[in-house]
Amino acid sequence: MTKSPETLNLSIDISCNLALEKVPASVRKQFWKLVQKLHAHPEANGNNLERVKGGSDKRMRSIRIDQGYRAIALQEGADLLLVHVDEHDKAYAWAERRRAVVDDITQSVRFVVAVSEEAEAPAMPPVKAEHRPGLFDAWTDDELISVGVLADHLPTVRAIVDEDTITAAPELDEVAQLSLTGLAAGLTVEEVRDEIGLTEAPANKVTFSEALRSDIAQRRIRVLDDKDLEAFVERDMAAWRIFLHPMQRRLAEGRKSTTLVRGGAGTGKTVVAMHRARWLADQIRRDPSRKGRKVLVTTFTRNLASDIRQNLWNLCPENLSKSAPVIEVMNLDAWVSEFLRARNFGKTIVFGDHKDLKKIWEDAFDQFTLPDGLSQAFVKDEWRQIIQAQGLEQKNEYFRASRTGRGSPLSRPMRKELWAIYEYVRARMVEQGIAEPDDGYRAVRAILDAGSITLPFDHIVVDETQDMGEQAIRLLRAMVPERENDLFLVGDAHQRIYPRKASMTACGVNVRGRRSNILRINYRTTEEIRRWAVSVMTGQAVDDMDTSVESSKGYRSLMHGPEPLVAEVASKSDELVNLVEWLKCIDLKTRTVGICTYTRRQRDEVNDHLIAQGLKTEILERDSDDSSCPGIKLLTMHRSKGLEFDAVCLMFIGAQDFPPAWIFMPEAFPDDASREDELQRLRSLVHVAATRARGTLRISLTGQLSKDLFT
């Protein structure tokens, strides 16, 4: 047994945290109680800190959790790094195969795996044949080392001939895999170094203790304090609450200007937004002069706001206390309604399908003759996409307004005829005391511009920014003055599933240059699922939420799993039968399964069938989020946004069901451009739903996929 020093500086590696998620809850609880004891009384008898015999690293220690489980730690002096937890024999085998090195390039502790002793190692990368060039032949050894490849890794790296084998080599750790997949995806050495946090060359060699505390180490290692240990004992802490990738941490804690964070599904945008909110709230709580000031976290939908509120409660409950909350979470429409109601706005905000609004439009079309060649659908779409979106209140403003992307051109006389209709509609809305959301946004801006109201928000954090329209973005800009840490926006235009679009610059939000940042590493889904989801969007031009086109360069996942299963059957009844058989192959006591449909009717049809087959299900409705508990969850694709599951099945995706037939009716859209916009939103919807799957994706369809939707 190793004698413990009088004090121990405890740290935990993300590998230990991930291992803890796989052991029984009772073991996790006992582990954290043991760690608390080590922290408080390292010299006490019974800590059972023993050296791992037979391994290549003499600093490896085992810690007895109970009779069946052991924790593995790395000890040097007074520093103890917790690295793994498993059953007794498996924990020792893990430790014996690894040795730790302090890497001066990344200034972090890295592990080298003894592959020859790896009993269950994946197949080694193929030995490079003479006629096949190595994937990394274009880079020198020094360049590879400069992006985090260890010298021990070089022989393996030189043998790699394709991207898939990068993550198949067990001796390549996460840093090496991130760097190599980045280079393979077309990133430059400088871009890769920036992505993994290597902003400058280290000046000196680093010690073991320094390597545990470096900026890049925080992606994998957290130095534990009393507050951490109390939180871990009280509630399980998922890895996302503890560890951030260097770029994620830099964005969450290091930015001062208005910031836009873009990135594909699963890259941790919402996680970064929540950590940003916590960091900003902590700054407020530490400053007595800022008592009463707040961080507003907002998004487009009520469902997502509810999900974020629950996750923030798990992350930093002290900032959401009922007595004096420092973080307020509310979707923007709800906040606007509450703000205006408190100030006797006098109008009810309604949405497009409201009966009074529908009647106003019916009366307008009865009273006015439409310009030649224009349909009712076009006129209403013009109102939503141009008049309301741009906040046009005068006829001359409409004459000058940009209509880029609207398809059908309009002459000045045609705009004049349309304006008469829009004046009528607006007058009737005022008469009946109703307003649309865009009217509400403008009304709040007018009150704020008058200068009589001071909002309690010093900072605003916005999730799913791509679903916000122009008036919403303008309002957000008005809610906090342009200053340090004012606006923090995250989003991905590939996931735009609502008919709203805005350019940050056009709305007065400056996110040019280094104010706009991209996250490229998918931490949620496997690479196979990511590729399928991205293929749905192939050939579609997607904006960057400002004035340029988005690029997917470097977007990748390091995790691998089975290819998505496209299950083609002859009928919808066969889809339901096969779904049950698929579910029977899943351990529903430990895994979460999301079954997504386009409509609620389809969702309820699937639910009824599963219940009839004796399966226990749960429907996720608005404001309900039990997605983290094992079992079968049924939900619409729209409801899936912000959630994730171990396995996902997309139901009724065949051409006879999806897209719905009404999309191809001549009267459904004013022109082909508008119809294509809707098809694009449906592609985004499939992309969103598919990327809710962590490891398994099934696409169920009758017949074949629609050629209009999938290329």
Tens-place pLDDT, residues 47-60: 678 999 888 899 99
Mark 564-585 as b/e (b = at least 16 C-beta within 10 Å): beebebeebeebbeebeebbee
Contact present, 298 and 330 (Cβ < 8 Å): yes
Q: Mean of the pLDDT values across residues 224-246? A: 70
For 215, 276, 460, 591, the CA distances from 255, given in Å and listed in that order, are: 15, 9, 14, 37
C-alpha span between 697 and 691 (Å, rounded): 9
pLDDT above 80 for 9: yes
What backbone torsions phi and psi does residue 535 show, to the nearest 5 degrees? -65, -25
Question: Can you tell me the mean pLDDT for 140-158?
Answer: 94
Torsion on CA atoms 532, 538, 540, 546, rounded to nearest 10:
70
The residue among 670 and 128 whose pLDDT is bigger is 670
pLDDT at residue number 122: 44
Is residue 604 within 8 A of residue 563, CB to CB? The reply is no
Whole-number pLDDT of residue 474: 95
Condensed to tens digits (0 to 9), the pLDDT of residues 159-204 reads 999 888 888 788 888 889 999 999 999 999 999 998 888 877 666 7
Q: Which residues of 4-42 are buried (b: 16+ CB within 10 A; e: fewer)?
A: beeebbbbbbbbbbebbeebeeebbebbbebbbebbeeb
pLDDT at residue 241, rounded to an integer: 67
Q: What mean pLDDT is reported for the chain?
A: 89
Contacts (Cβ under 8 Å, ≥6 apart) of 609: 576, 579, 580
Q: What was the pLDDT predicted at 491?
A: 95
| Model pTM score | 0.85
Give the mean pLDDT of 9-15. 90
Task: Please state the φ and ψ torsions of residue 384, each to the nearest 5 degrees.
Answer: -70, -45
Concatenating the DSSP letter of every residue in 500-534 gives ----TGGGT----GGGEEEE-EESSS-HHHHHHHH
Across the range 249-271, mean pLDDT stands at 91
For residues 570 and 100, give the distance between their C-alpha atoms in angstroms, rounded to a whole number.
Answer: 55
pLDDT digits (tens, 9 = 90+) for 279-315: 999 999 999 999 999 999 999 888 889 989 989 998 8
Q: What is the mean pLDDT of residues 259-264?
A: 95
Residue 131 has pLDDT above 70, yes or no: no
Measured between alpha carbons, how far is 139 from 13 in angstroms, rounded to an integer?
A: 31
Decide if pLDDT at 119 tops 50: no
Per-residue confidence band for 534, with pLDDT thresholds at 50, 70 and 90:
very high
389 annotated as a binding-site residue: no
- Of the candidates 229, 302, 235, 307, the one whose C-alpha atom is nearest the C-alpha of residue 271 is 307
Those residues with Cβ within 8 angstroms of residue 120's Cβ, 6 or more apart along the chain or in another chain: none
Task: Please compute the mean of the pLDDT values over residues 232-254 and round it to a whole number.
Answer: 75
* Contact criterion met (CB below 8 Å) for 687 and 681: no
Residue among 565, 567, 641, 649 at smallest CA distance from 607: 649
At residue 116, does pLDDT exceed 70? no
| Mean pLDDT of the region 669-691 | 90
List the single range of 447-451, 497-501, 522-526, 556-560 with lowest mean pLDDT: 497-501
Indicate if the pLDDT at residue 529 is higher than 50: yes
Assess whether pLDDT exceeds 80 at residue 127: no
- Cis before 659 (ω within 30): yes
Contact criterion met (CB below 8 Å) for 567 and 700:
yes
The string of pLDDT tens digits covering residues 502-515 is 899 999 999 998 89
- Reading the block at residue 149, the tokens are 């490849």
Residue 410 has pLDDT above 50, yes or no: yes
Amino acid (1-letter code) at residue 577: V
CA distance 370 to 418: 8
pLDDT for the residue 565: 97
Same fold, 1-104+202-234 and 562-702: no
Residue 117's pLDDT is 43
Query: How far apart (Å, rounded) are the C-alpha atoms in residues 638 and 635?
Result: 8
User: What's the confidence (pLDDT) of residue 607?
Assistant: 97
The two structure tokens encoding residue 164: 């898939």
Tell me the mean pLDDT in the region 441-454. Answer: 92
Q: Are 592 and 629 in contact (CB under 8 A)?
A: yes
DSSP state of 383: I
Q: Which fold has domain 562-702?
A: Rossmann fold (3.40.50)
- The pair of structure tokens assigned to 427 is 């007058």
What architecture (CATH level 2) is domain 244-341+442-527? 3-Layer(aba) Sandwich (3.40)
Inform me whether the pLDDT recorded for 396 exceeds 90.
Answer: yes
pLDDT score, position 118: 42
Quick one: pLDDT at residue 121?
43
Q: Which amino acid is at 439?
A: D
Which residue in 3, 123, 113 sits closest to 56, CA to CA?
113
Give first-to-last CA distance, the chain, whole Å.
63
Mean pLDDT of the 479-506 span = 91
Q: Is 136 exposed, middle or buried (0-12, 13-18, 19+ CB in 10 A)?
A: buried
Assess contact for 508 and 470: CB atoms under 8 A: no
Q: Is the pLDDT of residue 464 over 50?
A: yes
pLDDT of amino acid 90: 95
With a cut of 60, say whether residue 126 has pLDDT above it.
no
- Is 269 annotated as ligand-binding? yes
State pLDDT tens for residues 324-369. Answer: 899 999 999 999 999 999 999 989 999 877 999 999 999 999 999 9
268 is in an annotated binding site: yes
Cβ 281 vs Cβ 247: under 8 Å: no
Q: Is the pLDDT of residue 80 over 70?
A: yes
**pLDDT-above-90 percentage for the chain:** 63
- Cβ contact 262:517 at 8 Å: yes
So what's the pLDDT on residue 203? 64
* pLDDT higher than 90, residue 543: no
Residue 675: predicted pLDDT: 87
What is residue 214's predicted lDDT score, i.e. its pLDDT?
A: 84
pLDDT in the model for residue 626: 64
Domain ranges of the chain: 1-104+202-234, 244-341+442-527, 351-435, 562-702
Alpha helices (H) in 215-258, listed in sequence order? 226-234, 239-242, 246-254
pLDDT exceeds 60 at position 129: no
Stretch (H or E) spanning 415 = helix 412-432
For residue 123, what pLDDT is reported?
A: 47
Most confident stretch, 6-10, 123-127, 461-465, 545-549: 461-465
| Cα gap 596→579, rounded to integer Å | 12
Average pLDDT over residues 548-568: 90
Give mean pLDDT, residues 491-507: 89
Distance, CA of 623 to CA of 641 (rounded, Å)? 12
pLDDT > 70 in the chain, percent = 93
pLDDT reported for residue 487: 97
Whether domain 1-104+202-234 has CATH 3.30.200.20: no
Instruction: Answer yes or no: is pLDDT of 687 > 90.
Output: yes
DSSP sequence for 131-172 = TS--TTTTS-HHHHHHTT--GGGHHHHHH--SGGGTTT-TTS
What is the rounded CA–CA span in Å between residue 683 and residue 541?
12
Give the DSSP letter of residue 588: T
**pLDDT given at position 6:** 66
Q: Is 266 annotated as a binding residue?
A: yes
Rounded CA gap, 106 and 479, in Å? Answer: 41
496: its two tokens: 């735009």
